[in-house]
Amino acid sequence: MAIIYNESKKTFSLQTLNTTYQLKIGNLNYVKHLFYGPRINDEDLIYLIRRYDRGFSGNPYDSLKERTFSLDAQPQEFTTQQQGDFRINSIEVQNADGSFSFNGRYVSHKIYSGAFTLNGLPTAFATENDTVDTLEVVIEDAVTHVAVTLLYSVFEEKDIIMRAARVHNGGEGMIRLKRIMSMNMDYLNGQNLDLISLPGRYGQERQVERQMLTHHVHKIRSGRGISSHQQNPFIALAERTATEEYGSCYGFSLMYSGSFLAEVELDQYDQARLVMGINDRLFSYHLEAGEDFDTPAVLMTYTHKGLARMSHRYHDFFRDNLNRSKFVMDVQRPVLLNTWEAAFFDFDDVKLLKIAKAAKDMGVEMIVMDDGWFGKRDDDNSGLGDWFVNENKIKCGLPSLVEQINALGMKFGIWFEPEMVSEDSDLFRAHPDWAMEIPGRRAVRSRNQLALDVSRREVQDYLIESINRILDSANIYYVKWDINRAITDLWSNDLPGDQQGEVSHRYVLGLYRVMDGIIKTHPDIMFEGCAGGGGRFDPAMLTYFVQYWSSDNTRPLDNLKLHYGSSFVYPISSMGAHVSTASPMVPIETKAAIAMCGTFGYELDATHLSEEAVARCKAMSDLYHKYYDLNFFGDYYRLANPFEPVNLVAWETRAKDMREALVTVVTVNLTMNGPQEYIKCKGLIPDQRYRVEGDGNVFFASGMALMHAGIPIPREVPEFTAFMYHLTAVE
């Protein structure tokens, strides 16, 4: 059992292989947070909390004039409202009588084996190799009977705890949730913590920022209706001295694909509080008597062994526990060529077949027909929503096109943008009220398209039916599911005016229902997500998509930063990355080496390549398969940080048994006649001898030497050279 309840101490210890999380039913039945850190035995850590009479921090009435007990200074599991705690909080509810108060006290708990699931929201699952137990703790307001169940699933071997909250309106009247976070995390000592986040923008997603906590509320959020290019729903809190190898790091990854919020406050006593969940901006959710509301889940991890270990925890978990598709583990994903940067909207069946024939010799195994094959779609101003084949372009019809591609020995993939509608489309002409638009106003256009109101059942059913019809009409192996604008004009014609604060969240729930109806009903199709690149790259999406298009920016050197940032939480196997014609000064081999830090493919017109270039691509496609297991299932190490003024950027993937590794080094800035540079490997067996093959040489060295002295990197080479060193253990 990964959860120990100590009846006499009233402590719950959530035990993973290497960590302990402890909470306790404390004075006046408030649920206290005591500890999250390295694994300790079943001991009561209440001794950590000292109480003082703090001025201007009031005391609950039933503490009976005891001035040293104030929620403003106490670490708690879920923070209440209007009880003298002035910090950021977990819940804000307007009660049936109009008051804003929630005083949650422990009423019950239960412990069971297996992971919790949520109503309409994706969660992680236990594999047959996992030990998973769940704790549910119910806190309730004695006056309103509004209750919150705190959910904790402990994935013992994975060092991951999944958390969420479920609100139950146990009163008699309707209540309104103004804010409901998935979790609260209090730190007794926050002054030595740094906040790490992954901000970005379109074309430059998931860069890395690390900042000191200071005495204010730090907000990381998206209000764009998608998890967004601008911020990712992941943050880490790390000790100021923490590095890749050493120091305490706490990771928080939210399984949600809409507007989210993570707040961290360093309070007046240098305690830190973190909350994470649905963005409360433009949010308000009404609950009738007896109704429940589930928040999305957060995946938490802790390690005192540095940032690399934190990333490994997430990589393993995202690979094993999010998605049951056979393309995650069992079936190698083919080398694909996507037609977007090859042809944009200018293609027909004949051109696609020509590209496919030329691509075959590059080692391409699947052709993906991107945007432009449906409705009336010759540019991005029309056609979205009309999910039927444009027979002016695909003159032979879809089944025949797919058969001809299959006859070349290649698989076929197709693109959709389900959630959108063009004003110039049959769908919009038939159902103008299905687009999100606030009555009396005109909707914001973006890429000249509108968002469908996916919160509506009939819209969901239309999408499921029309897209499944295409998927079932031909031998389709792969789908790219795109979205190319943020969500604005939050309004649903299906909801009364006083429930419009629910639209943003209901959109996300509707989207998951649509994805259930299309993706989960087609287990033999490989699905890749996309949001104008990586604008909705989050763990909830990875429960549906085996990979996610990282960015519309295919410039290889920019991708060095993108991969580095993404790798804090996302595994290589989830990051779509292609070789394109962008950055002509960078050789194909370097572009390919960088794309192998993702799922690898091409995004170019194969008919325009010289024979020599085709042969070079073929060699790289072969390498993708050769290193597939290492890259997809090994441990990934960041070796050199592209955000620093380095001359070399490097990373390593190492097999779990530590007997094989691939070290990739890219020269980004070599000055003439400069010093010899070395790249130090990581995660090798110190006294094991390795054969190292790369840069045209073979040499032998121990793991200790390779980790502490490194590999000397040739320097009199052209700019942007990539070296791939293959390390194998020898006797």
Residues that bind ligand DGJ (CB under 6 A): 340, 370-371, 415, 482, 484, 530, 532-533, 549, 552
User: Which residue among the candidates 72, 130, 370, 482 is catalytic per the annotation?
Assistant: 482
Which residues, 6+ apart, have CB-to-CB distance to 472 below 8 Å?
A: none
Lookup: tokens for 89 = 């909080």
For 19, the 3-state DSSP assignment is strand
Strands 547-549 and 292-294: unpaired
Q: Specify the residue, 12 or 340, whose C-beta has the smaller distance to ligand DGJ.
A: 340
130 is catalytic: no
- Closest to ligand DGJ by CB, 415 vs 602, is 415
CB of 417 to ligand DGJ, least distance (A): 7
Q: Nearest distance from residue 454's CB to ligand DGJ, in Å?
A: 18
**Among 194, 320, 349, 552, the one annotated catalytic:** 552
Helix H or strand E segment including 612: helix 611-626
Residue 181, phi then psi, degrees to nearest 5: -90, 155
To ligand DGJ, the closest distance from the beta carbon of 480 in angstroms equals 6
Taking the least distance from each CB to ligand DGJ, the nearer of 316 and 482 is 482
Choice between 133 and 482, CB closer to ligand DGJ: 482
Question: Nearest 10 degrees: CA dihedral of 602, 608, 610, 612?
Answer: 0
**Residue number with CB closer to ligand DGJ (85 or 371):** 371
Cβ-based nearer residue to ligand DGJ, 384 or 459: 384
For residue 541, give every residue at least 6 positions away whose Cβ sits within 8 Å of its Cβ, in sequence order, or none. 227, 257, 529, 548
Work out how close the CB of 429 gets to ligand DGJ at its nearest, in angstroms, rounded to a whole number. Answer: 22
For the chain, how big is the Rg over CA atoms in Å? 27
Greatest distance between any 2 Cα atoms in the chain = 86
Q: What's 608's DSSP letter?
A: G
Which is nearer to ligand DGJ, 25 or 420 (by Cβ)? Answer: 420
Q: How far is the CB of 370 from ligand DGJ (least distance, A)?
A: 5
DSSP state letter for 47: G
Question: What is the CA 385 to chain-centroid distance, rounded?
Answer: 27
Least distance (Å) between residue 550 CB and ligand DGJ: 10
Instruction: Name the token pair of 458.
Output: 């009939």
Q: How far is the CB of 601 from ligand DGJ (least distance, A)?
A: 11
SS3 429: helix
Strand 209-212 vs strand 132-141: parallel, antiparallel, or unpaired? unpaired
- DSSP assignment, residue 287? E
DSSP assignment string, 492-512: -TTS-GGGGGGHHHHHHHHHH
CA distance 686 to 673: 33
Between CA 465 and CA 467 the distance in angstroms is 6
Residue nearest to ligand DGJ as judged by C-beta position: 371
3-state DSSP assignment of residue 558:
helix
Q: Of 258 and 532, which has the nearer Cβ to ligand DGJ?
A: 532
Lookup: tokens for 677: 């540079």
Q: Which residue has the tokens 């997603």?
A: 205
Q: Which is nearer to ligand DGJ, 533 or 565 (CB)?
A: 533
255-283 burial string, b = 16+ CB within 10 Å, else e?
bbbbbbbbbbbbbeeebbbbbbbbbbeeb
Shortest Å distance, C-beta 225 to ligand DGJ: 17
For residue 123, the minimal CB distance to ligand DGJ (Å) is: 28
What does each C-alpha distance from 210 to 213, 215, 242, 643, 674 come to in angstroms? 10, 16, 11, 11, 31
Nearer to ligand DGJ, 202 or 246 (CB): 202
Q: What are phi and psi of 161, to 5 degrees?
A: -120, 125
| Spatial distance between the Cα atoms of 167 and 293, rounded to a whole number of angstroms | 5
We find the least distance from the C-beta atom of residue 535 to ligand DGJ, in angstroms, to be 8
Q: Return the H-helix or E-strand segment holding 360.
A: helix 349-360
Q: Indicate if 320 belongs to the active site.
A: no
Q: Which residues contact 688 (CB under 8 A, 6 or more apart)?
A: 658, 659, 702, 703, 729
Catalytic residues, by residue number, are 482, 552
